[in-house]
Amino acid sequence: MADFYITTAIDYVNGSPHIGHAYEKVLTDVIARFHRLKGERVHFLTGTDEHGQKVQQTARKRGVAPSVFADEVSAEFRAMLPRLEISNDDFIRTTEERHKRVVREILQRLFDKGDIYKGEYRGFYSTRQEQFLQSKDRNPDGSWPEIYGEVAEIVEPNYFFKLRSYQEWLVGFLTANDRYIFPHFRQKQVMEFLKEPLNDLCISRPRERLEWGIPLPFDDGYVTYVWFDALVNYYSAVADRPGVWPASWHVIGKDILVPPHAVYWPIMLHAAGLELPRGILVHGWWLTSGAKMSKSSGNAQNPLDLVDEFGPDALRYFLIREMNVGQDGDFSRELFLTRYSSDLANDLGNLVNRALNMTNRFAGGLVPAAGPAGAPEDELRALWEATRPEYLALFEQFQFHTGLERLFAFIRAINAYIERRAPWKLGKSADPADKALLATALATIGEALRLASAALRPVTPASSEKIGAVLGCPPQGAWLDELAWGPRLAGSRVAVSLVLFPRPLPAAEKAP
């Protein structure tokens, strides 16, 4: 059973992971963690797409069998997940028998219904996208967009799925469910695409041209088209888990929305008599100097380089804070370092050590109970009471960047509160009233920091856990209850210090 089932796109094993892969995993993980923390039963799937012509060609160039090549690259993607603190519950490979069995079952079901027929394909084919193309896919000058790579004209017998006969149904479904795709402007793009008649979908490749695929159950002279194969992973991974399907959200990049996820997939499911996912979340691309970061363009960033240097939470925070879900985002090392230094090292990391240092210096390392509150305490608490529901609502709406902006405004307000109350001055005073005010200030600083850290748990899980530990208050009870202001820390013993986000060394000072 699962209350919330979420998937990433499965990664094609024709190359190593890059920043786009990392972002999609982190984004999906933040959503999964958020729902788990709210008390929901979550099932989170990711995996690798391993069949198709590109894999076969690359394996031949390497002089290895496609299965060996797929094993190697799939292992790279799997190894990336714990490095990024991804909390997936399952990892599916399209070469697994559990997947191939379901693909064959669905193909046979559609064939028996008469939704699959044999015909001749005559037209254009993109090896890079493993996709048949139409003349309307050309640029205005007659050339093919760079995304398709080399395009060849072919003629061959193949099997076709009756996509066109379901076009009217799909238009009706999307009209009735006008928030099916997030963000909404992506759904409008799909509706525009559907104004043109669909062609039936070629769902096979002759084995004489492509052996690396799932044989059709009704004709083993052909293998299954890689997109028909790959899309089924979302269902095949949970087909034997009652109560999990349908997916709550498929998280995918904008380049694979139309036609695969917004046209092929819903029609395939409907024709096979299966429920559709509840929604599709479409994210943008990471750009550098205005160009998409990708393997083919040669400007891809290895996300694990940044993890090695700054830790996973730093990269997770940057990716979620910097990208407005659904839009494109800019990536550069300079932008990363700016966000790292300002938000993480200065605002949060410095706050943690100020809180620990003052509690040890003025209260013997024990968080005191708060005494009477004054205007500064009331204002900081009022800001939290306003920030908490707004933050949660923004996360519900996938507005993570804005939610983090609001939360770090609260973190900066904690730092401003410290300057306003100046505990170092109160600690020098012999006045009992100042002593009482010092206890209130230290308790307020600790509690505000605890709340901010708890709120960050979906995005920076390891750092949040470390902060809770040094405050002497590890997570306990329901997360939403943890976000309520209270006296949880009173009497807790804090650590001496915590270097959470060390300042990066200048290049000249780094070890060779």
Q: Could you list the pLDDT tens digit for every one of the 512 residues in the chain? A: 889 999 999 999 998 999 999 999 999 999 999 999 999 999 999 999 999 988 999 999 999 999 999 999 999 999 999 999 999 999 999 999 999 999 999 999 999 999 999 999 888 888 788 777 878 789 999 899 988 888 988 888 999 999 999 999 999 999 999 999 999 999 999 999 999 999 999 999 999 989 999 999 999 999 999 999 999 999 999 999 999 999 999 999 999 999 999 999 999 999 999 999 999 999 999 998 777 766 556 666 788 899 999 999 999 999 999 999 999 999 999 999 999 999 999 999 999 999 999 999 999 999 999 999 999 999 999 999 999 999 999 999 999 999 999 999 999 999 999 999 999 999 999 999 999 999 999 999 999 999 999 999 999 999 999 999 999 998 888 999 999 999 999 999 999 999 999 988 665 445 44
Q: State the amino acid at position 310 in one-letter form.
A: F
**280-283 and 181-182 as β-strands: parallel, antiparallel, unpaired?**
parallel
What's the gap between Cα 290 and its chain centre?
Answer: 22
**DSSP H or E stretch at residue 420:** helix 400-421
Rounded CA-CA distance 191/189 in Å is 5
C-alpha radius of gyration, the chain, whole number: 27
Place of tokens 């999964």: 32
Two structure tokens written together for 11: 């990664």
* Alpha helices, H only, 38-160: 53-62, 66-83, 97-113
Closest CA to 329 of 285, 392, 385: 285
Cα→Cα distances 43→63, 89, 510, Å: 38, 6, 42
Contact 204, 216 (CB under 8 A): yes
Closest CA to 28 of 15, 43, 17: 43
Q: What is the pLDDT of residues 209-255, one digit of tens each?
A: 899 999 999 999 999 999 999 999 999 999 999 999 999 999 999 99
Write down the pLDDT at residue 508: 44
Closest CA to 314 of 503, 446, 449, 448: 503
Write down the pLDDT at residue 28: 98
Q: What is the pLDDT of residues 359-408, one digit of tens each?
A: 999 999 999 999 999 999 999 999 999 999 999 999 999 999 999 999 99
Contact 9, 257 (CB under 8 A): no
Specify burial of residue 428 (Cβ count, 10 A radius: 0-12, 13-18, 19+): exposed
Write down the pLDDT at residue 304: 87
Q: What is the pLDDT of residues 71-94, one digit of tens each?
A: 999 999 999 999 999 999 999 999
CB atoms within 10 A of CB 288: 17
Closest CA to 189 of 266, 252, 254, 284: 254
**249-253 and 219-224 as β-strands: parallel, antiparallel, unpaired?**
unpaired
Write down the pLDDT at residue 128: 80
User: Half-sphere exposure of 116 toward its Cβ, with a 13 Å CA cutoff?
Assistant: 23
Two structure tokens written together for 498: 């915590």
**Stated pTM of the model:** 0.93
Rounded CA-CA distance 345/332 in Å is 18
Burial 115-130 (b: 16+ CB within 10 A, else e): bbeeeebeebbbeebb
Rounded CA-CA distance 231/229 in Å is 6
User: Half-sphere exposure of 133 toward its Cβ, with a 13 Å CA cutoff?
Assistant: 23
* Concatenated DSSP letters of 137-202: GS-TTSPPPGGG-SEEEEEEEEEEE--GGGHHHHHHHHHH-TTSEESHHHHHHHHHHTTSPPPPEE
